[in-house]
Amino acid sequence: MKAYLCSRNAHKAQELELLLPGWEVEPLDAADWPDEVGETYVENARAKARFGHGLAGADRWTIGEDSGLEVEALGGRPGLHSARYAPEGAPAIAKLLGELEGVPDRRARYVSELVAISPAGEEVRGTGTLAGRIAEESRGSGGFGFDPVFVPDGEERTVAELGDDWKARNSHRARAARGLLVALGAAFALAVAGCGSNSSANRRVLAAFFSYGERARKFAPMFPHEPGSLPCLLPGGPPPAKKLRATCSTDVSLVKRERAVVTLTEAWNHGAQAHTWFFFIRQNGEVESVVQEGVPAPQGKR
Ligand code: IMP
């Protein structure tokens, strides 16, 4: 799965690629990004993702991310304005330590909001926070931004000392990415449950399902999924592929907490075969395996 990250921050693209298994995340190169004028992180993340979607067209996903550091004793500042607080790195850290000099309450948290837009324009979101405190002095060389002065709850070292592997498992962005993956899984279940319905929203989500992952994409042309009677392409048919009439039914069941099986049954009424496809789908939306069973269709249904 290929995605553009709609941000100038190359660190974030690297982090997200580690956080979204199976995704290739490339920073989108744009001259004029929209100003961060939203009143929430989500609004800013969505504005970036939508702007990128407009530039990139419909050939891949676009991801917008907005994050910030909220310091309790500063009433939640710099928060939404973290990127503009001071030049990132040493100057921003010096300003923050200056504002907190002699302040005993060091509590703070990082917040990350991710908004992903599918090639079909569908939106999926994930949210993550990381609670901690601001250290008295800067330590460590990993991460970026305020990481040298941010000590997560339950740790003694700063995020910059804990390093990028720790960040990939525990950061606010890691948590938001996990939320995004779970939301994608839910979107897929919804997509299949929506199969057979006339609603354009259901069709768009279904399109998102079949655009996710190499395996799902491979099957997409075989399942155009018009409700009721479908024009289907017979697998393996010589080009140009013949359009055949069929009807379909779908079912979603949870085999294990973390794994769902989606059954797509195509009842071909062209006299060839009735096919049942079992898609084993992980909670993060990845198609784990696909099993196809075929039985002869009843005679005289041509
Ligand atoms: P934006 O999301 O590009 O608007 O910028 C977020 C700002 O929040 C960054 O410039 C950093 O100052 C801060 N920030 C967000 N995430 C992190 C992080 O993982 N480590 C350190 N600073 C962060």
Quick one: pLDDT at residue 248? 52
The long-range contacts involving 273-277, CB below 8 angstroms and separated by at least 24 positions, are 273/297, 277/219
Average pLDDT over residues 1-16: 82
Q: Between 292 and 302, whose confidence is greater?
A: 292
Quick one: pLDDT at residue 131? 97
Q: Is 207 contained in some domain?
A: no
Q: Is 198 contained in some domain?
A: no
36 lines ligand 1 (CB under 6 A): yes
Q: Is 148 contained in some domain?
A: yes
Quick one: pLDDT at residue 21? 65
The answer to whether residue 49 scores a pLDDT higher than 50 is: yes
The answer on 104 and 27 residing in a single domain is yes
Q: Which structural domain, as residue segments, surrounds residue 102?
A: 2-184
Quick one: pLDDT at residue 190? 44
What is the overall mean pLDDT for the chain?
75
Confidence of residue 298 (pLDDT cuts 50, 70, 90): very low
CA 19 / ligand 1 centre spacing (Å): 16
Of 265, 274, 263, the closest CA to residue 296 belongs to 274
147 lines ligand 1 (CB under 6 A): yes
pLDDT in tens, 96-146: 999 999 999 999 999 999 999 988 788 888 899 999 999 999 999 999 999
The answer on 231 and 180 residing in a single domain is no
Task: Classify strands 150-152 and 287-296 as parallel, antiparallel or unpaired.
Answer: unpaired
The answer on 125 and 10 residing in a single domain is yes
Candidate list 29, 32, 59, 66, residue with the active-site label: 66
Active site includes 164?
A: no
Task: Give the mutation target among 12, 65, 146 for probing the ligand 1 site: most ligand atoms within 8 A of CB.
Answer: 146
Quick one: pLDDT at residue 72? 98
The answer on 173 and 85 residing in a single domain is yes
The answer on 29 and 175 residing in a single domain is yes
66 lines ligand 1 (CB under 6 A): yes
Quick one: pLDDT at residue 70? 98
Cis before 235 (ω within 30): no
Q: Is 122 contained in some domain?
A: yes
Q: Is 239 contained in some domain?
A: yes
Which residue, of 131, 163, 184, is where some domain finishes?
Answer: 184
CA 83 / ligand 1 centre spacing (Å): 6
Q: Is 195 contained in some domain?
A: no
The answer on 260 and 132 residing in a single domain is no
CA 58 / ligand 1 centre spacing (Å): 28
pLDDT in tens, 135-175: 999 999 999 999 999 999 999 999 999 998 899 889 999 88
Between CA 168 and CA 44 the distance in angstroms is: 23
110 lines ligand 1 (CB under 6 A): yes
The answer on 143 and 68 residing in a single domain is yes
The answer on 178 and 224 residing in a single domain is no
Of 8, 117, 7, the closest CA to residue 54 belongs to 117
Which residue, of 184, 203, 228, is where some domain finishes?
Answer: 184
Task: Give the mutation target among 37, 109, 144 for probing the ligand 1 site: most ligand atoms within 8 A of CB.
Answer: 144
Q: Is 219 contained in some domain?
A: yes
Quick one: pLDDT at residue 236? 40
What three-state secondary structure class fits 231? strand
pLDDT in tens, 179-234: 887 676 654 544 444 444 445 544 554 555 556 566 566 666 655 444 343 444 44
Q: Is 84 contained in some domain?
A: yes
CA 142 / ligand 1 centre spacing (Å): 14
The answer on 175 and 53 residing in a single domain is yes
Predicted TM-score (pTM) of this structure: 0.66
The total of structural domains in the chain comes to 2
Task: Give the mutation target among 14, 28, 46, 69 for probing the ligand 1 site: most ligand atoms within 8 A of CB.
Answer: 69
The answer on 16 and 151 residing in a single domain is yes
Q: How far is CA 265 from the centre of its chain?
A: 28
9 lines ligand 1 (CB under 6 A): yes
Contact, 205 vs 193, CB < 8 A?
Answer: no
